[in-house]
Amino acid sequence: MADKESFQEVFDALKPIFEDYAGRLAIQVDKPGEYYLETKTAMRKGQRFQFGGVKIGKAYVSLHLMPIYMNPKLQSTISPELKKRMQGKSCFNFTSVDPSHVAELKKLTKAGFDEFKTWGQQFGSA
């Protein structure tokens, strides 16, 4: 089982995927071992929508990317290797860093953000 130090390395590798969107989305949580973004404006029933984030857990580091949950087309682009890391429809679990997974998650996050923009929300400048 991985130790807390290696989980921090995984977290540190995944957090920048979301930090790139912090100016266009609202920071929902930013504390040690946990970072989440949400829409700046209400999207449904007066509520903001969580975009995604990363969190250190007891057994792994989880990355959540909500646009995947709502987009079967985006789901279909996930590689078999990354799909092995999926738990549910929008969560990926990691105990170590694989640069190819990080690169793929960056692309998925961009595609998810681009779809959010098509929903007519105010994200600021791209």
47 Cβ neighbours under 8 A, 6+ residues apart? none
pLDDT, tens digit, 9 for 90 and up, residues 95-106: 999 999 999 999
pLDDT, tens digit, 9 for 90 and up, residues 58-76: 999 999 999 998 888 999 9
For residues 5-25, give the mean pLDDT.
94
**Percent of the chain scored above 70 by pLDDT?**
89
Residue 1 pLDDT > 90: no
Going from the C-alpha of 66 to that of each of 3, 32, 72, 112, the distances in angstroms are 27, 21, 12, 8
Residue-range domain boundaries for the chain = 4-116
Contact (Cβ atoms closer than 8 angstroms) between residue 31 and residue 123? no
pLDDT recorded at residue 124: 42
Run of H or E residues at 83: helix 80-83
What strands, in cross-sheet order, belong to the sheet with 86-87?
26-31, 34-38, 50-56, 61-65, 91-94, 86-87
DSSP state, residue 124: -
